[in-house]
Every structure is written in structure tokens, then in C-alpha cells.
Chains A and B, each alone.
Chain A
Amino acid sequence: MSFDADHLRRCARLARLALADDEIAPLQREIARMLDLVGELRHAVLDAAEPMAHPLGLTLAPRADAVTERDAHEALLALAAETRLGLYLVPKVIE
């Protein structure tokens, strides 16, 4: 397939990445080349293979229903650019 500028704009929208107009053509070409590289997957005989999401097939171990996190409210809020009254501040969403 060919990865075109519309594909790029759609992915940028999904990934919440602003794109300047002059970035689109070179980025589209670079990504199209990378997709050509991974295109070999489309010619491989893969039907019989079970998809592998994880290398070791580890199963999640149950653990006690206990509080393990200390209260780090202040420390975590201190990492944010804008906070007030113990809350994160973002631009108004609902008028």
C-alpha cells in the first residue's frame, strides 16, 4: 500500500501530534519507506502461526488485596506545570 498525506494526517490526529504543513511531505515519505521495509510481512507465510504478544508467556500472579502505594499526592502534583487547590489545571472543555 502507499502511505499518503491523508494517512499521515489521520495518524497525527489519533496520536495527538500537531504537524506543521511543511513537515507533512518529508514525514510522509519517511514513513512510507519504513512501511515498505516492514511490508515483507505481507509476503510471508504466517497463517499457521499463533500471534505472540509476549516473549515468555508469563501468567500474572495473584497478589494480596493490600495498599502498596504511599500517598504521593503532593510529590506527583509538584511535577505538573499547572495545578491549583490540589488539582491539575487544563484549558476549559465545557463552556
Chain B
Amino acid sequence: MSDPLDEGLRACAEALRENRTDADALAGEARRRAAARDDLNAFVSLDTRVPARSAHASPLAGVPFAQKDNFCTAGLRTTCASRMLDGFVPPYESAVGERLQAAGAVSIGKTNLDEFAMGSSNETSHYGPVRNPWDPTRVPGGSSGGSAAAVAAGIVPFATGSDTGGSVRQPAAFCGVTGLKPTYGRVSRWGLIAYASSLDCPGVLARSAEDCACVLGAIAGHDPRDATSAARPAEDYLAALDAPLAGLRIGVARPYFGAGVEAGVGAAVQAALAEYERLGARLVEIDLPHAHLAIPAYYVIAPAEASSNLARYDGVRFGHRCAHPRSLEDLYTRSRAEGFGAEVRRRILIGTFALSAGYYDAYYLSAQKARRLIAGDFDAAFAQVDLIAGPTAPTTAFALGEKSADPLAMAAADVNTVAVNLAGLPALSIPAGLHAGLPVGLQLIAPAFAEARLLAAAHRFQQATDWHRRRPGGRP
């Protein structure tokens, strides 16, 4: 019998329930694998805190997991992969971390990411890039690249991520795992270090939609500490997984198959959609007339919010402080210039410009208007269809260094994912095929709070196919 860590969360839960292993053995094995695969650079820190034992029965009890290193962990350093927070040890735990550990899951480490979650390749990390387990010369995607690589390499059965413009879904696609971005407000952002507050959304990377459903059930729900948390209870996402595909209307979004999509990626996604049709779903071609405005709107709104959120790093209360400041101004400007990497500084400057007097209307206000039109496109589409589908990313994982000098080429990696964040919708990426030996992701998008429908549709596909079981290096 194969190791439950290789199989996923459900296999771990079954092995624990049948006393074939215990929580300490699983966590120990996960930590051993993290150390053995340090070539991937997937982890920033290992979590050696002693977990509290959960008294109540939960499918997560005793299951090891990893947390993206922008979720605060009480007493364990949380860096956002930035020199700014290199020595930062939060005094509190994020809501997501709290809920997972209350359900008995065992945190084994903090995963690498693009600095402050700003990037699509994990190359902007202060601690160096993560490598893709499918091909170590390639990026794992970003910004949750460490989480995606850790799940793909079989180190942990699931990991947390955050998705501001595709940062869960795109690395899930590049690493051949399942990545869920819930509806904005569905999962508390308390303790998730802010990048762009109206877009940031905690998410999950796991082996399967079923495993994502299990984790979402534990982390979803209202949290009064997050003013944008939705006041509605979590659903039983596991119980809803067997909803039939027959009659489900899937909108095939024409703009998501545009010019930048590699032929092999497009073909793999079309084959996956044909499988959906075979399983009883109905494909409906749809248009999203303002899809071309998503990247421009995102690259104004996200940097604008970042410039505001990251103003808190001043070298005074926490974070990096420059040596021998000559004045308060010198303390601020040098601490921030030394603490932030190039990509973060660039986004802060763009955001500052977009919000500055004389340019606010042309950039920020225009982006907010475009956001309304993009959200309206989705509303209109969901009057005709139940889900929307397309490639998660236009390409498979690209080579390390291939796009890092070209911010525009990097931005193009997010072309199919950012609109979902602008509209606040739930979406996921599931493995849908291979192109030249690398995973291809299928993105499914649902109306707000329809995570149960989304997960069921992904689960039905995964019951009929085995793309989500493929492993790097041909491992089963």
C-alpha cells in the first residue's frame, strides 16, 4: 500500500482512523520529506511548535499541512518572503491557522512565496525561487509557489495559499494540483498579511477537489475580526460533492482561449471540456466583453491598495530598520528601500502614482469603473450558465528567469485569473492534462458563494479522470 502522504488528505484521514499511523508519525514524515526536498526551496521555516490535541472528531484531525508564509503564526516567524519581515514573529495566529489547528490539523511549516505575494513565478522571494517538482528548471507559479510545490512533491497533503490575482490557481495549474479560491468574504482574512485588501482571499491547495472541500469546510464561516467576512455559515461541502453533472451548463469563455494561449494548453482544456460533455454537462459558448480590461484594472487596483497597506512598514514598530538613521525621514525611506525587494517597490510606486493628485481619476477611478463592468459580465454570463470554464493560465510552467526581467510578460501569466478576484467570485484550478510533460490547469468559476457547485463539478471530473493523480517524475 502506498504512503498516505502520497495519496492526499482523505488517505491520511483514513490511515489515522484505522490506526495504521498516528499524527506524530505523519507530521514527522512530512517534516522529513520537507528536509529531503530542500532542493525545491518550498519552505521558509519548519513549524516545530507543539500542536494542541483536538478533542473532537474531524476529518482533519492529525493531518499535517503547510501554511503560506503570509499567514501569521503565533510564536513562529512569518516573513512574507521579504527582508522587511525576516525576523518578524507574530504575537497571534491567523484565523485560517486557528481553525485548521482547532480541527486537529498539524502545521509542519511555512511555505515560500513571492515577496508579499506579489508575483506569478515565486522568483521575487527574498529567500530565492521555488523550483517546480515537475521540472526543477521551471517556476512553480506564484505567488503560492511553495505551497503548490509542497503538495505536488507529496510533502504535505494540503497547504494554505492566498489568491489576490490568481496566486492559488496559477501555481496549482503549474504544479498539477487542485487549487481553490473561495468567494471573497467566505474565509476570514484575519492574520493574513495584507497585499490588496479588496482582492486578497485565503485559499487551499490539495490533491483533489474532495480534499479542498474538506479543508474549506473547516476554514469557511463568519469571523467578526474581519470586517469583510460574510455573515453566512459554512456549508457541508463534502456532502454536496456527489451532485450530478447532468444538465449542468458550463460556459466556455471565448476570451480565455485568446492569442496568448499555447496550442497544447488550449487542446488539453478542450479535451477536458469534451469529457465534461461526455459526463452529461452542456457546453455553452459565452463572451465576457470586458475581459480585456481585467489586467489593466488589476494592475492599477492591486498596486494602489498595496501602496496603502504597505505604508505600515516604517521601521519603527516592527520589521526592518535601517542602521544609524540620521532623521525620521531617513529612517522611513532607507528602512523601506532596504526592506522591500524590487517588485514590491515597483508596485508601491505604481500604486502611489495611480492614487496621486492629478492622476487618480485617470487611473484609479477608471480601474474601479472597469471593475464594475467586469463584474457585470460575470452577472450576465451566470444568467445563462452555472459555471464558466477556460485554461487557468495561458502556458504551462515557464523556465526560471524566462520572464523575471519583463513585468509585462509576467503580468500576462495572470490574464485568465485576475477578473475572478475583481468580481470576488469563487474559482478553482484542476489538473486537466499534460502538455510536453507539464501539467495543464482547467479553471472553473462559479457565482458568489456557489463553492459547493464548483467543488462538486471538479469532483465529478476527478472521479472520471486521473489527471489529478499524476505525479512529477511519473510517480503514480
Contacts and interface: CB of A to CB of B under 8 A. Distances in A.
A93 interface: yes
Contact of B297 (A41, A55, A88): A41
A35 B448 CA distance: 31
B326 interface: yes
Contacts of B311: 15-16
Most chain A CB inside 10 Å of its own CB: which residue of B184, B296, B317 = B296
Nearest to B293: A44
Given A8-B349, A15-B352, A52-B375, A88 B368 contact: no
Given A18-B333, A34-B408, A91-B327, A49 B372 contact: yes
Given A46-B369, A58-B185, A15 B293 contact: no
Contacts, number: 169
B112 interface: no
Given A42-B362, A51-B368, A37 B333 contact: no
Interface string A42-82: 10101101111111101011010000100010011001111
Interface residues of B, number: 73
A54 B296 CA distance: 17
A34 B299 contact: yes
Tell me the interface secondary structure of chain A in the complex: loop
Contact of B227 (A7, A12, A47, A60): A60
A52 B369 contact: yes
B346 A30 contact: yes
B346 A16 contact: no
Interface residues of A, number: 52
B348 A17 contact: yes
A55 B227 contact: no
B424 A90 contact: no
A44 to B, nearest CB: 6
Contact of B330 (A8, A44, A75, A91): A91
A85 interface: no
B186 to A, nearest CB: 10
Interface string B368-382: 111111011000000
A79 B318 contact: yes
A58 B226 CA distance: 12
Contact of B337 (A18, A56, A72): A18
B336 interface: yes
